[in-house]
Amino acid sequence: MKNTDACLHVRGESVFIDDRLVPEGTLYAAVLSSPVPHAKIIEFDISKAKSVEGVEGIFTADDIPGVNQIGNIIKDEVLFADEEVHYIGQPIAIVVSKSDVISHKTINEIKIEFVKFTPVFDPRESYKKGQLITPTRTFSLGDVDNEWKKCDLLIEGTVESGGQEHIYMETQGALAYPSEDGTIKIISSTQAPTAVQRIAANVLGLPMNKIEVDVLRIGGGFGGKEDQAVPWAVMTALASFKLKKPVKLVLHRKEDIIMTGKRHSYSSDYKMGLSKGGKILAYEVTFYQNAGAAADLSTAIMERSLFHATNSYYIPNAKITCISCKTNLPPNTAFRGFGAPQALFVMESAIYKAADKLGINPSVLQEKNLIKDGDEFTYGMILKNSTARKCWQTAEKHYSIEKLYKDVKEFNSKNKIFKKGISMMPICFGISFTNTMLNQASALVHVYTDGSVSVSTAAVEMGQGVNTKIRQVASEVFSININRIRVESTNTSRVSNTSPTAASTGADLNGGATRIACMNILERLKNFVSDKHKNQNLKTVEIMDEVVYLNGKKTGLKWDELINEAYTNRISLSAQAHYATPDIYFDKKKEKGEPFAYHVFGVAVTEVTLDCLKGIYEIDSVKIVHDAGKSFNRLIDLGQMEGGVVQGIGWATIEELMYAKDGKLLTDSFSTYKIPDIYFAPFEIKVHFLENKNTQVGIFNSKAIGEPPFLYGIGTYFALTKAMKEFRPDLKEKFSIPLTPEKVLLALYEKP
């Protein structure tokens, strides 16, 4: 079963925002954004810009009929800067004209002057100044303070990880149409249609029922459109509301990179205590999260860092603290993994440092401390159905790890300039939004009189294949051919109060709702057939492969005939259903609960070859054993694995955001910000899905797949540092991501 969108993509027939045929009279908006990181606006003059031929409107904070506020969790972010600006790239105004070119040119005709303030970019510095996004939170288990003295080995360290630009293929954008009675329809490239609807309504001072948001598909989101699709959509809505004309805004790539937030960089301090035998007895860590100038999703991301700080290990005494620091950068936001990659990198760094001290292979410590059934996470959840160890053992056998180590050792002994390194990277990722409320979804299913089926849900298709999975659900429940089923656009008038498609829950939640809606219609159909055969000793009615079976015997009645008959007899052929993940909760006062429906485990074995003369490297292979439950669609899941791994490797190795002293982003294009291409990607990515068919979790016993594979990318960092140490045993490891070839080279030849 392929991702059914693949054919459209390959032919260039999929319709993204910029592919839409626009109505006559459509206007184009361009954004004026701040060129300085922190300042007061003292002069703002649009008189010249206003008179440019073709310009139909210029809108600022003063033109907002409702509230100038787009903060989602914390109300701390304006749509347009009013008095002060807080980061380079912060929107101040939009120019709307007959063409994209005129709008962009006219931006330069707006006169604006600032009085500059001193900006802060470093999270530790903003922490010292008391500039926090939200109060600091701590999770704790056992008693670290009491445990340190019982440890045989104590290690401490600092770990850095950089940000990451999303590089979704489709940049941010939206198209808004005015309709009658002051209503507006917004086509948005968003993962969160309801957030766009709600915030557009607030900004325009309208009730939500006057805003309809529609998302056909988006050209990648990766978290970058969970919160940050909102401003652009609201800007088009505002302009279209004011001008009574359709308005389109699609960011140019450079604008997108400059104006939008990224993965949070983290700076962290840790302390770890171990027994002689290599048991991790205590772990304390403090994450300084670089949130940027507004909260955005930082508080939720901080939470996931707290949840995942101990990765797939059981540590009886732990104290995990996260501090969300306000800086003069664009508000950082969701990105695949959502705070977990940063936390896992610190944990693994601690393990590698400890192994170094003990003079053993880090994999010994990793394996020894893997979490098992009955163990408690720092947040009080007792693990059930752990596959951490099973994945590890399967990887050892399946990929002949011992031989791999031997071969690498031999290679290194024979080569002076080229060195190889191997790492093991176990992962753990909790599935569910950490905010319990968000774990709900709805579906609306129609069966038409010809037997074709239409499904609407809250899920946004962003390339992850959720629409194909939803089609599979309807096809399984009805037992009809998948080609009869269409998944419609995600639309707030058809499916309301949607959670964002995020946290890897798209298929679980929306597939869950689809399943219930289909089952309701099926039930009605079966009852209809039973009623028809009343008094005929009918025990069972079933539909299999589009044919009706009575008492297990095939009849001549086909699916489309059944539907037609049911319609003729006035049976409803539509259903709406709601799904909420059962039995999850979290008590924020105690910082304990069962926030996740289940956990995903796996392990990656990474092998790299380093050219120690040039500092460049190649990734020979990433071999993974992954628990996907009973994979619901192998090809899609494999695609998610490969994409996630490569994206994670990019973050760990070559994707480097660089800023000038004044905070200006220097890596604002593809020539300076390098993401993995096919040449950089591992030569081989092998995925072995663990045979774990009895998991009673997820949609049809599958496990969510969207984000977890990203975490395997961290393994490449450690494989590289191992190779570096083969060349230079006295290497001073910095535990800093990304480990670019440049940094490798400098470290290899750094003076001791």
Q: Which is nearer to ligand LUZ, 300 or 625 (CB)?
A: 300
Give the integer Cα–Cα distance in Å for 699 and 433.
Answer: 16
Instruction: Choose among ligand MOS, ligand LUZ, ligand MTE, none what residue 433 binds, the Cβ cut-off being 5 to 8 Å by kind.
Output: ligand LUZ
Is the backbone peptide bond immediately before 738 cis, with ω within 30 degrees of 0? yes
User: Quick check: helix, strand or coil at residue 560?
Assistant: helix
Partner touching 85 among ligand LUZ, ligand MTE, ligand MOS, none, CB below 5 to 8 Å by kind: none
Q: Which is nearer to ligand MTE, 221 or 231 (CB)?
A: 221
Q: Which of residues 334, 371, 425, 518 is near ligand MOS by CB under 6 A?
A: 334
The residue among 423, 426, 425 whose CA lies nearest residue 719 is 423
CB-nearer residue toward ligand MOS: 260 or 286: 260
Residues in 506-545 that interact with ligand MTE by CB under 6 A: 506-507
Residue 455: strand, helix, or coil: strand
* DSSP string covering 25-70: T-EEEEEEE-SSSSEEEEEEE-HHHHTSTTEEEEE-GGG-SS-S--
The DSSP call for residue 99 is S
Binding mask of the shown chain, residues 207 to 236, with x at each position contacting ligand MOS by CB under 6 A: --------------x-x--x----------
Q: Looking at 168, 177, 335, 399, which residue binds ligand MOS (CB under 6 A)?
A: 335
Give the footprint of ligand MTE on residues 425-464 (CB under 6 A). 462-464
In angstroms, give the least distance from the CB of 329 to ligand MOS: 19
User: Is 165 annotated as catalytic?
Assistant: no
Q: How far apart are the first and last CA of the chain?
A: 56
Task: Figure out which of the listed residues 284, 296, 607, 707 binds ligand MTE, where binding follows CB under 6 A.
Answer: 707
Work out the burial of residue 402: count CB atoms within 10 Å of its CB; fewer than 13 is exposed, 13-18 middle, 19 or more buried. Answer: exposed
Q: Which of 456, 505, 514, 716 binds ligand MTE (CB under 6 A)?
A: 505
Per-residue tokens: 184: 């507006």
Buried-exposed string 305-324: b where 16+ CB fall within 10 A, e elsewhere: bbbbbbbbbbbbbbbbbbbb
708 binds ligand MTE, rule: CB under 6 A: no
Q: Which of residues 494-513 bind ligand LUZ (CB under 6 A)?
A: 502-503
Q: Is residue 338 involved in binding ligand LUZ (CB under 6 A)? A: yes
Output 115 or 169, the one with its CB closest to ligand MTE.
Answer: 169
CB-based contacts of 330: which residues, under 8 Å, 6+ apart? 87, 88, 89, 90, 258, 259, 260, 261, 262, 292, 293
Task: Please state the φ and ψ torsions of residue 691, each to the nearest 5 degrees.
Answer: -75, 100
Q: Of residues 629-668, which lie at the interface with ligand MTE (CB under 6 A)?
A: 640, 643
* Four-CA torsion 492, 498, 503, 507, nearest 10 degrees: -80
Q: Judged by CB under 6 A, which stretch of 111-119, 386-394, 432-440, 650-658 contacts ligand LUZ?
A: 432-440
By CB under 6 A, which span of 331-339, 434-442, 613-621, 662-670 interacts with ligand MOS?
331-339
- 335-374: which residues touch ligand MTE (CB under 6 A)? 336
Q: Is 502 in the site for ligand MTE (CB under 6 A)?
A: yes
Phi and psi angles of residue 265, each rounded to the nearest 5 degrees, phi first:
-75, 150
Q: Does 708 bind ligand MOS (CB under 6 A)?
A: no
Q: How far is the CB of 434 from ligand LUZ (least distance, A)?
A: 4
d(CA 89, CA 77): 14
CB atoms within 10 A of CB 32: 25
Smallest distance, Å, CB 638 to ligand MOS? 19
Q: Which residues pair with 321 in a beta bridge?
A: 138, 286
Per-residue contact flags (x/-) with ligand LUZ for residues 249 to 268, judged by CB under 6 A: --------------------
Comparing CA positions, the residue from 624, 599, 626, 601 lying closest to residue 716 is 624
Of 69, 412, 435, 520, the one binding ligand LUZ by CB under 6 A: 435
Distance CA 550, CA 529 (A): 9
Q: Site size for ligand LUZ, by CB under 6 A?
A: 11
Q: Among 236, 184, 244, which Cα is nearest to 30's? A: 236
Interface with ligand MOS in residues 645-674 (CB under 6 A) = none
Minimum Å gap between C-beta 161 and ligand LUZ is 17
By the 8 A CB rule, do 427 and 312 touch? yes
| Residue 748, both tokens | 């290899």
User: What minimum distance in Å lies between the beta carbon of 448 and ligand LUZ?
Assistant: 35
**Nearest partner of 289 among 304, 278, 277, judged by Cα:** 304
* Token duo for residue 24: 């006559």
Q: Which is nearer to ligand MTE, 19 or 156 (CB)?
A: 19
Q: Are 189 and 173 in contact (CB under 8 A)?
A: yes
* Segment contacting ligand LUZ by CB under 6 A, of 433-441, 444-452, 684-692, 710-718: 433-441
Measured from the CB atom, the residue of 87 and 338 that comes closer to ligand MOS is: 338
**What DSSP character marks residue 311?**
T
50-to-64, 102, 110, 246, 653 alpha-carbon distances in Å? 18, 12, 9, 19, 47
Q: Which alpha helices (H) appear in 680-733, and where do they start and end?
A: 714-727
Q: How far is the CB of 444 from ligand MOS (least distance, A)?
A: 23
- Using the contact rule CB under 6 A, the part of the chain among 328-336, 486-494, 511-519, 620-628 near ligand MOS is 328-336
φ, ψ for residue 27 (rounded to 5)?
Answer: -105, 160
Binding mask 194-233 for ligand MTE (x = CB under 6 A): --------------------------xxxx----------
What does 643 bind: ligand MTE, ligand LUZ, ligand MOS, none (CB cut-off 5 to 8 Å by kind)? ligand MTE
Give the Å distances, CA to CA, from 300 to 72, 285, 493: 11, 18, 28
Q: Which of 127, 241, 338, 559 binds ligand MOS (CB under 6 A)?
A: 338
Strand 736-737, strand 153-161: pairing: parallel
Complex with ligand LUZ: residue 164 or 434, whichever CB lies closer: 434
Kindly tell me which residue out of 502, 619, 685, 699 binds ligand MOS, with binding defined by CB under 6 A.
502
Give the interface segment with ligand MOS, choosing from 8-16, 211-219, 335-343, 486-494 (CB under 6 A): 335-343
Q: Using CB under 6 A, which of 34, 188, 191, 442 touches ligand MOS?
A: 191
Q: Which of 255, 655, 707, 726 is catalytic?
A: 707
| Residue number with CB closer to ligand MTE (615 or 676) | 676
Indicate whether 300 belongs to the interface with ligand LUZ (CB under 6 A): yes
Q: What does the binding site for ligand MOS look like in residue numbers (CB under 6 A)?
A: 191, 221, 223, 226, 334-336, 338, 502-503, 707
Which residues are catalytically annotated? 707
Q: What does the binding site for ligand MTE look like in residue numbers (CB under 6 A)?
A: 220-223, 336, 462-464, 466, 501-507, 640, 643, 704, 706-707
Q: What does the binding site for ligand LUZ look like in residue numbers (CB under 6 A)?
A: 297, 300, 304, 334, 338, 433-435, 438, 502-503
